[in-house]
Structure 1
């Protein structure tokens, strides 16, 4: 096993630190802005001259100017994103398994279609979708956002899971069926545990895509009934027309990051567990 020299280690450490600073500095800047007073927003310094929790009280405390708007939209984002993620992962698991294991006409066309849908510009279909949803009664509803979110999460989920299923030895399923398992039991007890790392990785990606959507959220909602957080942030206002709500928006951005961090931590543990349990001895 080769070892790196000290100059190589220092080089990698420097690269790692540079990447971390480049990635985390915007988050740190937003965090510091969330603790600034309205008068300190234009001080030109990174750290607040006067620390305050006023911005968090604005979005979380009862009586805060944006409390109802933010908490309602946060509930909408969590519910809609979770439902869209679960549906996308379940459907993608079945579809990807069929693509990886079965030989049928049009299999390649399904993958090509999924790829085409994933790269299709969302802006170009928002207006027709808006008119359709208004006609059939799905406008400003959870279902009216979940269905479009599936068009974003399902294609990438199918491609990701199909790659994982292709890596699982076909002989394992055959051995399970020889032992008396039905095809579905072989799939559930043999393939799914081995594909767990791919399933949870796909769930993370799908959740992030649904959570971060802005175009559908702002175009297909008009009230707090289904408006998600990214769209709700654009409706934040200050205490007066002369006050900038930058502090409240920064505080909301930090609070919205917390569920993302929680989801990543939970799924990372499951991914590591799945990798360990899914190891196959050669």
Structure 2
């Protein structure tokens, strides 16, 4: 390959990466800019990317007038407990299906996968009746149970695929050393599966953090409503407060970005590594 061809290839690669970055980050950057602009600038005939004049009014309104902090608290409680329960039960299910001799395990996996294929709008009615019968409406428990049912199939499938790549010789060596079944999971499998656990945990957390339909159907007051429902409630009958919505959306998105950046090394390992190879 000549020097000119190498430069052209590098320019093509970096140009494509820059285009993808602008395409992905552009809406979020515009949202941040919108959150610092006055309402009259947002509804003007010519929008401006640079806020002029610069204002914090929308953030003040989101927290002190619309009580965004309560919705953030609710989303954090629901998402954290959902993630912990999904990882706990999903790890046990994936370990059992991958490392134990279970008859018809692939049939069970197909059943688990098929559960996640139902559209949410088709099951929200029956689940609402069940939640009402068990007094789970307007509670954290109701949302956590529903989100657990929605996130568990994905967590189980991802962890099962990761556990399947781990060599069976580790199990045999553990058995020789007298390690029990749960000891095999706790002392051998989990320590080398941290990237997969972080990746699936983040997926479960983001899904619970962003879920809207069930949170809208199962909650009716700000004491238990999550952030997506809270932001939707910002809209009035005759007025859409785009500045407040942009400010709240920026605050809600930042924790997810921080989590991804903090755990990026584990995420990359979880997506690209298959554990120890024979």
Report the TM-score when normalising by structure 2.
0.91
1:110-149 alignment, distance < 5 Å: 110-149=108-147
| Structure 1 pair 279–234 and aligned structure 2 pair: CA distance change class (3 A) | closer
User: Which residue, 52, 56, 67 being the options, matches 2:55?
Assistant: 52
Q: Check conservation: 2:86, 2:152, Cα contact below 8 A.
A: yes
Rounded Cα–Cα distance in structure 1 between residues aligned with 2:39 and 2:167: 60
Summarize the alignment of residues 37-48 of structure 1 with structure 2, pairs less than 5 Å apart.
37-43=38-44, 44-47=46-49, 48=51
1:94 CA displacement: 0.8
* Separation in structure 1 between the aligned mates of residue 201 and residue 276 of structure 2, nearest angstrom: 23
Q: Is the Cα contact below 8 Å between 2:159 and 2:200 reproduced in 1?
A: yes
Total equivalences in the alignment: 273
Of residues 241, 255, 261 in structure 1, which corresponds to 2:251? Answer: 255
Aligned position for 1:204: 202
2:211 to 206, 210, 213: 213
Tell me the TM-score normalized by structure 1.
Answer: 0.89
Take 2:186 and 2:12, find their aligned partners in 1: how far apart are those partners?
Answer: 46
Match of 2:23?
22
Distance 1:248 1:18 in 2: 29
Distance in 1 (alpha carbons) for counterparts of 2:197 and 2:101: 22
State the alpha-carbon separation in 1 of the partners of residues 233 and 178 from structure 2.
Answer: 59
**Relative contact order: is structure 1 or structure 2 higher (C-alpha 8 Å, sep ≥ 6)?**
2
| RMSD (Å) for aligned C-alpha atoms | 2.4
The CA distance in 2 between the partners of 1:21 and 1:46, in whole Å, is 18
- Kindly state the Cα deviation for residue 109 of structure 1 after the two structures are TM-superposed: 2.1
Is the 1:34–1:248 contact (alpha carbons within 8 Å) kept by the matching residues of 2? yes
The equivalent of 2:9 in structure 1 is: 8
Tell me the equivalent position of 1:267: 263
Unaligned runs of 5+ in 1: none
Q: Could you list the runs of 5+ residues in structure 2 that have no partner in the other structure?
A: none
